[in-house]
């Protein structure tokens, strides 16, 4: 029976999920029936099944794009360059195959469960290692659960990827409400505080009474809100985009004033990165913070318009010198775009900015739950440890990584897995 809270054509059945479990083998086991009913709420098997007519319509719309004139400048100072976007869009309209990533998703144990009246879709992969540590991984914007696909096996099956059995994790990877296959909130109130409480309910419902949380971008904000609220079961968090900018620095940046005297070299570097970001590249956030519905019409109506909106940030935030195809494949980027387009979530995903309506870089109270931080070199700003020490009273791990950017698990899955293993080793 179809679920009215899910996009048309996205059906779930026990047969579909059990088939996926067989495909991935013993290293990733589906929850038992008892676990699926833990907490007294149903956890239902889920399968992605986009109607072929929707895929055909998407490609037709891409092919029919009315293109803007090419930019009259020789760089990206006016935005995404047509010469970068148009070849990718031609491939999207032509040879790109959504069914490949759909099959990859359906080879994993996927589920949906209702929390506070909203259906939440998630991947749940259990390690074959008995003492694996439960962890919830949260994506960001313009990312999705697809960011984590390459990191699943290194995290659940570490012995096959240079790790030890005691490094293993059980993974829960949910789609944020309004993103991908999760339902779209119909009422306000689904900001990061609420999502953080929902994630705690999800983990407890799955039988995990002690777990850790990891996130970057929106996932970093949600993980930090979980820690600030001290949600049940959470023992520590790991962040790859920490919100550590001190209040006095945030005020100076907001005013556009020069850097204050007395900053260390790393603090000054972070200040300069943030100043450049606010000056040149933050208009997207201002729009989604204040008018997500207005921009949402374009994001839901035009696949190329949506792709340009997102491709700009993927280009800027990957550790790629502005060319994301150096670290991600065309298919990986288009899988993400297609997930947004085919589920019609461009507007609903943007609303999380309006819900939070805050700067995701600024410290929001001191967190005293244990916090681990990995600083990737291509992040929007490289957080200095001095600021992290002020924001996190129990900063137990801080490491500056040699490669990777904002989309750490997507860009560098092995390195990401090694960081998360090292961070949570003391919580086994």
List, for residues 176-202, the tens digit of each pLDDT value.
999 999 999 999 999 999 999 999 999
List, for residues 364-402, the tens digit of each pLDDT value.
778 999 999 999 999 999 999 999 999 999 999 999 999
| Residue 29, number of CB atoms within 10 A of its CB | 17
Rounded to whole angstroms, the Cα distance separating 244 from 390 reads 8
pLDDT confidence band for 20 (50 / 70 / 90): very low
Which is nearest to 124 in space by CA: 28, 220, 236? 28
Which of 211, 311, 353, 392 is labelled catalytic? 353
Residue 387 structure tokens? 């600021």
- For residue 107, what pLDDT is reported? 98
| Residue 279, number of CB atoms within 10 A of its CB | 10
Coil vs helix vs strand at 121: strand
Whether the pLDDT of residue 17 is over 50: the answer is: no
pLDDT confidence band for 28 (50 / 70 / 90): very low
Active site (annotated) includes residue 124: no
Rounded to whole angstroms, the Cα distance separating 284 from 349 reads 13
- For residue 394, what pLDDT is reported? 97
Cis omega (within 30 of 0) on the bond before 32? no
pLDDT confidence band for 2 (50 / 70 / 90): very low
The chain-wide mean pLDDT, for the chain, equals: 91
Contact 186, 158 (CB under 8 A): no
Rounded to whole angstroms, the Cα distance separating 383 from 275 reads 14
Whether the pLDDT of residue 414 is over 60: the answer is: yes
Active site (annotated) includes residue 91: no
Contact 170, 200 (CB under 8 A): no
pLDDT confidence band for 34 (50 / 70 / 90): very low
- Beta strand 234-239 pairing with 211-215: parallel
List, for residues 267-297, the tens digit of each pLDDT value.
999 999 999 999 999 999 999 999 999 999 9
List, for residues 38-48, the tens digit of each pLDDT value.
444 799 999 99
Which is nearest to 216 in space by CA: 402, 381, 26? 381
Percent of the chain whose predicted confidence (pLDDT) is above 90: 88
Residue found under tokens 């096959």: 160
Which of 153, 167, 193, 217 is labelled catalytic? 217
Q: In which element (H, E) is residue 371 found?
A: strand 371-375
Q: Which domains does the chain have, with CATH numbers?
A: 14-52+100-247+365-427 (3.40.50.1820), 54-98+278-356 (no CATH)
CA dihedral 198→200→205→209, nearest 10 degrees, is: 180
Q: Where are the alpha helices (DSSP H) in 37-164?
A: 52-63, 82-93, 98-106, 149-156
Contact 158, 128 (CB under 8 A): no
Q: In which element (H, E) is residue 84 found?
A: helix 82-93
List, for residues 57-81, the tens digit of each pLDDT value.
999 999 999 999 999 999 999 999 9
* 238-262 mean pLDDT: 96
- For residue 366, what pLDDT is reported? 83
Length of the chain: 428
* 119-139 mean pLDDT: 97
Q: What are phi and psi for residue 8, nearest 5 degrees?
A: -55, 140
Residue 216 structure tokens? 């970057």
Residue 411 structure tokens? 């860009």
- For residue 363, what pLDDT is reported? 76
Rounded to whole angstroms, the Cα distance separating 167 from 131 reads 9
Contact 419, 154 (CB under 8 A): no
Active site (annotated) includes residue 368: no
Which is nearest to 228 in space by CA: 424, 392, 425, 395? 392
Rounded to whole angstroms, the Cα distance separating 78 from 184 reads 32
- For residue 1, what pLDDT is reported? 33
Cβ burial 410-422 (10 Å sphere, 16+ → b, else e): bbbbebbbbbbbb
| Residue 336, number of CB atoms within 10 A of its CB | 26
- For residue 5, what pLDDT is reported? 30
Choose the weakest-confidence range: 39-48, 223-232, 260-269, 310-319.
39-48
To 5 degrees, how large is the angle CA 401–CA 340–CA 122?
A: 70
Which is nearest to 254 in space by CA: 295, 282, 292, 217? 282
- Beta strand 110-115 pairing with 43-45: antiparallel
pTM, rounded to two decimals: 0.91
* 111-129 mean pLDDT: 98
- For residue 333, what pLDDT is reported? 98
- For residue 13, what pLDDT is reported? 33
To 5 degrees, how large is the angle CA 33–CA 35–CA 37?
A: 75
- For residue 359, what pLDDT is reported? 74
Sequence-ordered list of residues with C-beta below 8 angstroms from that of 104, at least 6 positions apart, any chain: 149
Whether the pLDDT of residue 10 is over 70: the answer is: no
- For residue 360, what pLDDT is reported? 81
């Amino acid at each position: 029976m179809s679920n009215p809270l899910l996009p048309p054509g996205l059906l779930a059945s026990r047969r579909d999920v059990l088939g996926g479990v067989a495909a991935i083998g013993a290293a990733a086991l589906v929850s038992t029936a008892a676990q699926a009913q833990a907490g007294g709420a149903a956890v239902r098997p889920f399968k992605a099944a986009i109607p072929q007519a929707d895929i055909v319509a998407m490609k037709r719309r891409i092919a029919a794009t009315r293109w803007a004139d090419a930019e009259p400048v020789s760089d990206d100072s006016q935005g995404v360059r047509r010469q970068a976007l148009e070849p990718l869009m031609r491939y999207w309209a032509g040879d790109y195959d959504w069914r490949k990533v759909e099959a990859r998703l359906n080879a994993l144990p996927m589920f949906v469960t209702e929390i506070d009246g909203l259906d939440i879709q998630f991947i749940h992969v259990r390690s074959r290692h008995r003492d694996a540590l439960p962890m919830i991984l949260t994506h960001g914007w313009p990312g999705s659960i697809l960011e984590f696909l390459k990191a699943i096996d290194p995290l659940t099956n570490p012995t096959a990827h240079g790790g030890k059995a005691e490094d293993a994790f059980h993974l829960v990877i949910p789609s944020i409400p309004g993103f991908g296959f999760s339902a779209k909130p119909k009422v306000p109130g689904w900001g990061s505080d609420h999502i953080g409480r929902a994630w705690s309910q999800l983990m407890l419902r799955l039988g995990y009474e002690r777990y850790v949380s990891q996130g970057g971008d929106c996932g970093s904000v949600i993980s930090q809100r979980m820690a600030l609220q001290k949600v049940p079961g959470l023992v520590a968090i790991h962040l790859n985009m920490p919100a550590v900018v001190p209040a006095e620095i945030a005020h100076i940046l907001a005013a556009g004033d020069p850097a204050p005297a007395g900053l260390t070299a790393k603090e000054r570097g972070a200040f300069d990165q943030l100043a450049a970001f606010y000056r040149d590249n933050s208009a997207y956030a201002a729009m989604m913070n204040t008018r997500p519905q207005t921009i949402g019409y374009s994001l839901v109506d035009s696949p190329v318009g949506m792709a340009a909106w997102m491709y700009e940030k993927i280009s800027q935030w990957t550790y790629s010198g502005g060319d994301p195809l150096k670290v991600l494949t065309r298919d990986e980027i288009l899988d993400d775009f297609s997930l947004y387009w085919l589920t019609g979530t461009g507007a609903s995903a943007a609303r999380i900015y309006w819900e939070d309506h805050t700067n995701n870089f600024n410290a929001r109270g001191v967190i005293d739950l244990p916090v681990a931080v990995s600083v990737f070199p291509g992040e929007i700003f490289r957080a200095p440890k001095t600021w992290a020490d002020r924001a996190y009273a129990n900063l137990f791990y801080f490491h500056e990584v040699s490669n990777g950017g904002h989309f750490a698990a997507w860009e560098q899955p092995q390195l990401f897995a090694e960081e998360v293993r090292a961070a949570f080793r003391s919580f086994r």
